[in-house]
Amino acid sequence: MWSASGRELFYLNGQKVMAVDVETEPELRVGRPRLLFEGSYRPGNQYDVALDGRFVMLEQGSPSDGTVPAELILVQNWFEELKRLVRMD
């Protein structure tokens, strides 16, 4: 996944989140990979990077210890939904 600036590439190496600097001018140059952080995350490259650089990832859970959520609620267009819910007419 590319950073918002387009100068850094993020990728997973097992449970490690890695970053590498990339330059395209005057020629392609790729820096040395570096570890950002690691943890127990869901497999399958299911993550995203926000414009401000924060990572959104799902942690690996276990049904036996109660860390697997029963449901995940995703609210799209949340600002419009908030305006609808707090209408002050």
Q: Indicate left, alpha or beta for 77 from its phi (over 0: left) and psi (-120 to 50: alpha).
A: left
CB 12 within 8 A of CB 18: yes
What's the pLDDT tens digit per position in 52-80? Answer: 888 887 776 665 666 666 566 777 788 88
For residue 75, tell me if it sits in a domain: yes
CB 34 within 8 A of CB 20: yes
- Residue 88's pLDDT band, with cuts at 50, 70 and 90, is low
For residue 1, tell me if it sits in a domain: no
Domain hosting residue 58, numbered range? 8-85
For residue 23, what pLDDT is reported? 92
Better-predicted residue by pLDDT, 85 or 33: 33
For residue 38, what pLDDT is reported? 85
CB 19 within 8 A of CB 7: no
For residue 13, tell me if it sits in a domain: yes
* Length of the chain (residues): 89
For residue 13, what pLDDT is reported? 85
What's the pLDDT tens digit per position in 15-62? Answer: 888 999 999 889 999 999 999 988 877 666 578 888 888 888 777 666
With a cut of 80, say whether residue 8 has pLDDT above it. yes
For residue 60, tell me if it sits in a domain: yes
For residue 37, tell me if it sits in a domain: yes
Q: How many domains does the chain have?
A: 1
For residue 3, tell me if it sits in a domain: no
For residue 2, tell me if it sits in a domain: no
For residue 58, tell me if it sits in a domain: yes
Q: Please give the C-alpha separations between residue 46 and each of 28, 65, 67, 81, in angstroms, as whole numbers.
A: 28, 22, 18, 26
State the DSSP string of 28-58. -EE---EEEEE--B-SSS-EEE-TTS-EEEP
